[in-house]
Amino acid sequence: MPPPAASSRSTAAAVSKPAEKTHAQKLLDKLGLRRDIDLALHLPLRYEDETCITRLADARDGETVQIEAEVTHSEVSFKPRRQLRVTVNDGSDSCILRVINFYPAHQKTLSIGARVRVRGELRGGFVAREMVHPSFKLAGGELPASLTPVYPTVAGLPQAYLRKAVPSGVARADLSETVPAEGLSQLSALFSLRESLRFLHHPTPDVALAALEDRSHPAWQRLKAEELLAQQLSQLEARRIRSAMRAPPLAPPVMRGAQCTLYEQLQERLPFRLTAAQQRVGHDIDADLQKNVPMHRLLQGDVGSGKTVVAALAAARCMDAGWQCALMAPTEILAEQHFRKLIGWLEPMGIQTAWLTGSQKAKERREALALIASGEAGLVVGTHAVIQDKVVFKNLALTIIDEQHRFGVAQRLALRSKMTADGQEPHLLMMTATPIPRTLAMSYYADLDVSTIDELPPGRTPIVTKVISDSRRDEVVERIRGQLAEGRQVYWVCPLIEESEAVDLTNATETHESLSAALPGTQVGLLHSRMPVAEKKAVMALFNAGQIGVLVSTTVIEVGVDVPNASLMVIEHAERFGLSQLHQLRGRVGRGAAASACVLLYSTGDGPRLGETARARLKAMAETQDGFEIARRDLEIRGPGEFLGARQSGAPLLRFADLATDTELLAWARALAPLMLDRHAALAQRHILRWLGGKADYLKA
């Protein structure tokens, strides 16, 4: 049962019955509207101008107008589909209204002789001008004095209900000032918060629509400034709370004679020299680990920059001090990649490493759990299985999370809670191969210390990137033959596993069959996320060994797969992938000395031309291999919400501010936040509560 129509009674009356209130509240909860301030901050998506009536004779085709006219004809038509066709005349001209989804109440309102107020887009038709599915109601009453808001909503919650509920929320909410005078003085001539909200919910018709749409109006500026301030306050408060916590200081042990620490042994045993960037970030992490304050550091570096070895050195420092370390990765393929590398480096030094995934057999899992609980396993590597309740560490002191943006807040908190030392927190190192643009680091990651590996190891070859229409598919297959003849291997990535009725894309199974037929004598492998784990491992083992020449895969190989002999990457329907994902996939080649290439196959099929967003992504890929430039462009294209992915699960994203254009407001908020926490602590808490509610808890992760 939908909420009652707000036009027929007040909001209070609309939710007076317990059953109605429960249903309406459930729908409001879906929108996150639980408090009066939540309603007040629920701003319109757009506005409709119902403040004036336009004569049909004066209206132009393609224009959205409001008319007042009399119904002269009304019928239900069944060609080309069932619809209500109504003719109206306002005395200057007539037009046809076509209502596709209609009910008896609509027919009653649009009965012959009724005078109605109709709003919609006027189009030229075969017989007469028409409006398709316009909004309409019986004429009468004064015209509104302000633009009519159109709010984000969910099924079952009509605009009429929200147009009553939201102003009621504004009236009831505590909108008293929380920004101190010294902060307001730097926001010259801005509206107060209450004035801003009242205006944005009901702007006057004389306002420039462009200023509302691009959010440059002073009312918008005030809201964006307050939102950024709440974010900076909560981030800074989280950092200060963390600085008061205690963690075990992981100082290197004192060794006698010719003995070396694990940290030193690992550096000596590595088959390569660390780059200057790896050494620099390694020193940053090492210094953090030796403090009794929990490290909370993000290690970022482009694809192939060598983050794993830096993590291994941190783990060695942890084990040198007699504590355990856990490394968690989002996929089994990536976790196993880490596991193989770390075993190769650490086992010769006598380090016991445990492996934990959801696909393990019971006996293998019991043995791993016993090693972890006893402390025999100094390093634990795995997927989400690491954070399950049955996993008990003896003395966990360092947690490392790879591709951290793929984990939600609860998962990171669960890993940190595995530490059993009373009153202490583990050190936390998060890693990402998606470099974070500076504006994001200043906002969403303001509570973190950020270390950057900004150079690639020597020997990595540049990757030539080509954007090619799939009409030239035969040329690409010929290029594959050339690579195979030289003893090289090839990836072919597809976006789907099986056919989809919604999206007509070539799937991995069909591609595997067609390439197998086109490349006789070559073993073509197939890899996708729905395969059993044992089958995935077998396929990857054959590809690693060079027995599979072409690997057809979904994005399961996006991160972690390291086959130096693979020199060509073909990405089918590249226009369907995100920019960051394309860059990650491209990073699977160019890992050896051979010249490498990435072919981005795009298709428009029989549909429209390639969209501007997809075109911008493919252009960026062809123009640069710099992960930081890719990240900057990705942020421009997608915005911060999608860019950050699951790191913000359960977290308040910026709804109003735009990090690309509101840098001055961000700088203002960053400068004011420490002053508020130091001098106006009560105001700061009220401000955080107003804007974030209980969602600020995500900062603990």
Q: CA 589, 593, 594, 598: dihedral to nearest 10 degrees?
A: 20
Contact call for residues 437 and 452 (beta carbons, < 8 A): no
Please indicate, yes or no, whether residues 193 and 274 belong to a single structural domain of this protein. Answer: no
Q: One-letter amino acid identity for 325?
A: C
Q: 425 and 374, same structural domain? A: yes
Same-domain status, 582 and 602: yes
Sheet of strand 94-99: strand arrangement: 130-132, 94-99, 83-89, 64-77, 115-121, 135-138
Question: Domain check: are 486 and 385 in the same one?
Answer: no
Instruction: Report the 10 Å Cβ neighbour count for 608.
Output: 7
Q: Which domain holds residue 323?
A: 262-453
In a domain, 675, yes or no: no
Contacts of 642 (CB under 8 A, 6+ apart): 578
Phi, psi of 447 (to 5 degrees): -85, 0
Does residue 406 fall inside a structural domain?
A: yes
Quote the tokens at residue 114. 């009724």
pLDDT digits 0-9 by tens, 239-259: 888 888 899 999 888 776 556
The answer to whether 121 and 98 have CB atoms below 8 angstroms apart is no
Residues 498 and 612 reside in one and the same domain:
yes
Nearest one of 571, 580, 586 to 638, comparing CA atoms: 580
- Same domain as 365, residue 268: yes
Q: Is residue 519 part of a domain?
A: yes
Q: What are phi and psi of 141, to 5 degrees?
A: 85, 165
CATH number for the domain spanning 74: value is 2.40.50.140
355 and 339 part of one domain? yes
The reply to whether 640 falls in a domain is no
Question: Taking Cα atoms as reference points, which of 71, 62, 135 lies closest to residue 102?
Answer: 135
Does a structural domain hold residue 243?
no
Indicate whether 43 and 190 sit together in one domain. Answer: yes
- Which residues neighbour 515 within 8 Å (Cβ) at sequence distance 6 or greater? 477, 480, 492, 524, 550, 552
b/e per residue 370-383 (b: at least 16 CB within 10 A):
ebbeeeebbbbbbb
Q: What is the mean pLDDT of the chain?
A: 84
Residues 442 and 483 in one domain: no
Claim to verify: residue 499 and residue 564 sit in the same structural domain: yes
Q: Are strands 83-89 and 94-99 parallel, antiparallel or unpaired?
A: antiparallel
In a domain, 212, yes or no: no
SS3 of residue 56 by DSSP: helix
Question: What Rg value do the Cα atoms of the chain yield, rounded?
Answer: 31
Total-model pTM? 0.72
Instruction: Report which DSSP code applies to 345.
Output: H
CATH value at residue 332: 3.40.50.300
Nearest alpha carbon to residue 305 among 283, 329, 275, 341: 275
Return the structure tokens found at 557.
Answer: 């190989």
- Position 342 in a domain: yes
Peptide bond into 80 cis (omega under 30): yes
Q: Which of 426, 453, 480 is the last residue of a domain?
A: 453
> Which of these, 343, 317, 340, 338, lies nearest to 327 by C-alpha position?
338
* Whether residues 418 and 368 fall in one domain: yes
Q: Please state the domain count of the chain.
A: 4
Q: Nearest-CA neighbor of 228 among 670, 697, 595, 693? A: 670
Q: What is residue 13's predicted lDDT score, i.e. its pLDDT?
A: 40
Clarify whether residues 496 and 565 are in a common domain.
Answer: yes
Ranges of the chain with pLDDT below 50:
1-20, 499-505, 645-652, 698-701
Q: Is residue 178 part of a domain?
A: yes
Last residue of one domain, picked from the residues 624, 639, 665: 624
Q: Of 118, 138, 158, which one is at a domain's C-terminal end? A: 138
- CB-based contact 602:618 (threshold 8 Å): yes
